[in-house]
Structure 1
Amino acid sequence: MELWQQMIRDSIHTVDQLVEKFNIDRKVAEELDEFFQARINPYYLSLIRYPGDPIWLQCVPDVKELEDLDGYEDPLLEDAMSPVPNITHRYPDRVLFLTTSQCGMYCRFCTRKRKVGNSDKISMRQLESAFKYLEEHTEVRDVIMSGGDPLMLTDTMLEKIIKRIRQIPHIEIIRIGTKMPCVLPHRITPKLVEMLKKYHPIYINTHFNHPWEITPESAKACQMLVDAGFPVNNQAVLMKGVNDDPQVLKELFLKLLKIRVRPYYLFMADETRGANHFRTSLDKGLEIMFALRGNISGLAIPHFVIDAPGGGGKIPVLPDYILHRDEEKIVMRNYQNKIYVYREAKNEENKIEVEISGNDNGKLPKPKKLKKSAKAVVSEYEIT
């Protein structure tokens, strides 16, 4: 048995352990266990510095989960977009391939808690229908392996799946969505890396939410992956009490760059049942993104997105940098809140007709004009 597997076995997961270790009322612990089981491996447990800290909030069950009656079991409608078991096909050229129900640590904000931890919901027995779907749908060029966490599989089982995907001619890219570099970096072994190298191009999407999660162990895991030629991207979630502070996220993103992990996405928290206490306002997210832009390298700034409820996909959100726009000029503010005017180009490009869903005349709608004129907007600020 490898070290990482032993650490999974040694994880906190029973009601008795929750009561003893975290002083949770037994009745509450039983209800939480029924709602969404816990798994906190010894490594991630060691990152907790004090009760209620950002690490604790992500992994220790909380009675607030039971008080959330407004969230959705499947906020992104993944199940409705699942043509066969284990496959979600939302975008034209890529699919989500669920390979296992198990994770190295069960995040309390998990958007897939309806399935995670339940081998009946994400079953290895149904992989053949998933492979057949991929073979038949030649428009698919990109497969994102997820779960659960694909790296919870043994090297042998993981290779069987990847090798089978690589045999499909029209599939160009394989992505592995894994939180292991963050929650159990011991899983990233030389043997695993050597196996994965045979099936390039493979991209790794990992998931750090707080700078305390970047440790010598997690840095080494990411180094092994990057040195072996795997681009590693990070997908963080904005969460109240965890990282809803520009200084915290600035530290996280800069530390990620230092270990050669690119900040890729920052998500607004999904409307998942049991996770409402993690959600922030959109204004809070926009405030943080505005505080980051210009103050740290563009390399360190992720796309800020909302994964639209109802399966609408990822929608990028930006602070309001455009204050006014008309046919002659664009009035903008920069990261210092200083105002600048950019003269609009006068050419035929502004008149190109395009098809827009819900717009019967097929023309690009004209920019909305503010009540104030550009001159009035500019006069409120000192033009640099």
Structure 2
Amino acid sequence: MSGNAKSSSIRDVAALVEAGLVSPAMMDPLRLVEARYDIAITPAFRDLIQSADDPIGRQVIPRVEELDQAAFQMADPIGDARHTPVKGVVHRYEDRALLTPLLICPIYCRFCFRRERVGAEGGLLTDAELEAALGWFRQHPDVREVILTGGDPLMLSPRRLGRIIAALSDMAHIDIIRIHSRVPVADPERLTPALLDALSTEKALWLVTHVNHAAELSEAASQALRHVQKRGIPMLSQSVLLRGVNDSVEVMEALLRRLVRLGVKPYYLHHLDPAPGTEHFRVPVERGLNILRGLRGRVTGLAWPTYVMDIAGGYGKVPLGPHYLEAGPTMMEGVTDPKGRHHKWPNSDF
């Protein structure tokens, strides 16, 4: 591959073939996928891929299975549309709301629950639309937390991102600004001093980075996380439980340990949302629970994520963590420890 090609993102099937990531025989079938869902693989992510079936390749290289749609899958599985009072705002919970200033990402994950909306042409709010969205927040004092998402808010220019952070910071009722981003692992060079300067605020600002496998935490990604932390910005992570990517105790343990070594607190482990064409990533809930059971007692509580499911249709997240209390005929009678041993527990606690 030429040096010039190496320095740019892969954005179509022809480039995937040229990079040796898919065979020429797959070009025509995958063009049907490309016509429906955008492709983007940054140089940083491409350098981590050994094959289309490895844990990194599976996340970003399109597959023909994406054209299959099960009856239960939805174009808007978490109900963004029904909770959108004004363009760019999603208000699902009483005290917090999403602000989606754009729908562009550095990479397009093949399991994304917004895959019907995100893309290279995606949804950058105009100045008027952005001001209307910010105006909505000004008019809703019960909203205490703003989650910047998309798309990826760290794909914004430092000027535009700084404008948004400053506007939110000026609202007395906003206590927390949270940013969800793939940039630290997918395009770490994008975290320039100017972009980090744009995050300056007196409010409590948290950065939540999306990481699904320990291999994503390259030296460049790790250095980007350190740059964020040097600005005094606390960091959390979220992951999606994905078949063939992180659906084992050993792989999940390696990811969680790597995150806490880097000073990133694992926050959410998401059960896969029922987006179209994602069934090949689905892991049964019981397997997810068993993975967490296998981790209990093996990793520090600092590394323990909350396993959550977004109830399809926009009804909110619920935790799915394994349970250790044992029910008797009339009340709780005992508890099971991480090794599966049973213990009596004083009934007075119940």
Q: Which bin holds the TM-score, normalised by the shorter protein?
A: over 0.9
Shift of 1:341: 0.9
User: Secondary structure at 2:35's aligned position in 1?
Assistant: helix
Shift of 1:317: 1.0
Question: CA–CA distance in 2 between the matches of 1:253 and 1:192?
Answer: 27
Corresponding residue for 1:322? 325
Relative to structure 1, the CA distance from residue 333 to residue 33 in structure 2 (aligned partners, 3 Å threshold; closer, same or farther) is: same
Question: CA–CA distance in 2 between the matches of 1:149 and 1:7?
Answer: 24
Q: 2:165–2:198: 8 Å Cα contact kept in structure 1?
A: no
Shift of 1:169: 1.5
> Which letter does structure 1 place at the counterpart of 2:296?
R
Question: CA–CA distance in 1 between the matches of 2:331 and 2:112?
Answer: 47
> Which letter does structure 2 place at the counterpart of 1:78?
D
Residue deviations 1:32-78 (CA, integer Å, cap 9, x gap): 11110100111100001233100000010000101234321100111
Shift of 1:194: 3.0
Corresponding residue for 2:58? 57
Shift of 1:198: 3.6
Question: CA–CA distance in 1 between the matches of 2:254 and 2:137?
Answer: 40
Question: CA–CA distance in 2 between the matches of 1:314 and 1:38?
Answer: 28
> Which letter does structure 1 place at the counterpart of 2:273?
D
After TM superposition, the structure 1 = structure 2 runs for residues 259-270 of structure 1, keeping only pairs within 5 Å, are 259-270=262-273
Corresponding residue for 2:194? 191
User: Secondary structure at 2:318's aligned position in 1?
Assistant: strand
Q: How many residues align?
A: 342
Q: 2:152–2:182: 8 Å Cα contact kept in structure 1?
A: yes
Q: Tell me which of the two structures has the higher relative contact order, counting C-alpha pairs closer than 8 angstroms and 6 or more residues apart.
A: 2
Corresponding residue for 1:256? 259
After TM superposition, the structure 1 = structure 2 runs for residues 1-384 of structure 1, keeping only pairs within 5 Å, are 10-21=8-19, 22-23=22-23, 25-70=26-71, 71-117=73-119, 119=121, 121-125=123-127, 126-325=129-328, 330-345=333-348
Question: CA–CA distance in 1 between the matches of 2:221 and 2:120?
Answer: 27
Question: CA–CA distance in 1 between the matches of 2:97 and 2:115?
Answer: 20
Identity %: 34
Question: CA–CA distance in 1 between the matches of 2:332 and 2:285?
Answer: 28
Q: 2:311–2:317: 8 Å Cα contact kept in structure 1?
A: yes
Which sections of structure 2, spanning at least 5 residues, go unmatched? none
Question: CA–CA distance in 2 between the matches of 1:86 and 1:286?
Answer: 34
TM-score by length of 1: 0.85
Shift of 1:265: 0.6
Shift of 1:212: 0.5
Shift of 1:307: 1.1
Question: CA–CA distance in 2 between the matches of 1:128 and 1:262?
Answer: 33
Residue deviations 1:88-141 (CA, integer Å, cap 9, x gap): 000001001001111111111111112111646453341121111111111011
Q: 1:18–1:29: 8 Å Cα contact kept in structure 2?
A: no
Question: CA–CA distance in 2 between the matches of 1:7 and 1:199?
Answer: 42
Question: CA–CA distance in 2 between the matches of 1:300 and 1:165?
Answer: 31
Question: CA–CA distance in 2 between the matches of 1:288 and 1:274?
Answer: 25
Relative to structure 1, the CA distance from residue 301 to residue 14 in structure 2 (aligned partners, 3 Å threshold; closer, same or farther) is: same
User: Secondary structure at 2:148's aligned position in 1?
Assistant: strand
Question: CA–CA distance in 1 between the matches of 2:313 and 2:256?
Answer: 30
Which sections of structure 1, spanning at least 5 residues, go unmatched? 1-5, 351-384
Alignment root-mean-square deviation, CA = 1.9
Q: Over alpha carbons, which structure has the higher Rg? A: 1
* Structure 1 segments of 4+ aligned residues over 6 angstroms from their partners: 6-9
Question: CA–CA distance in 2 between the matches of 1:304 and 1:131?
Answer: 32
Shift of 1:26: 2.8
User: Secondary structure at 1:236's aligned position in 2?
Assistant: strand
Relative to structure 1, the CA distance from residue 329 to residue 40 in structure 2 (aligned partners, 3 Å threshold; closer, same or farther) is: closer
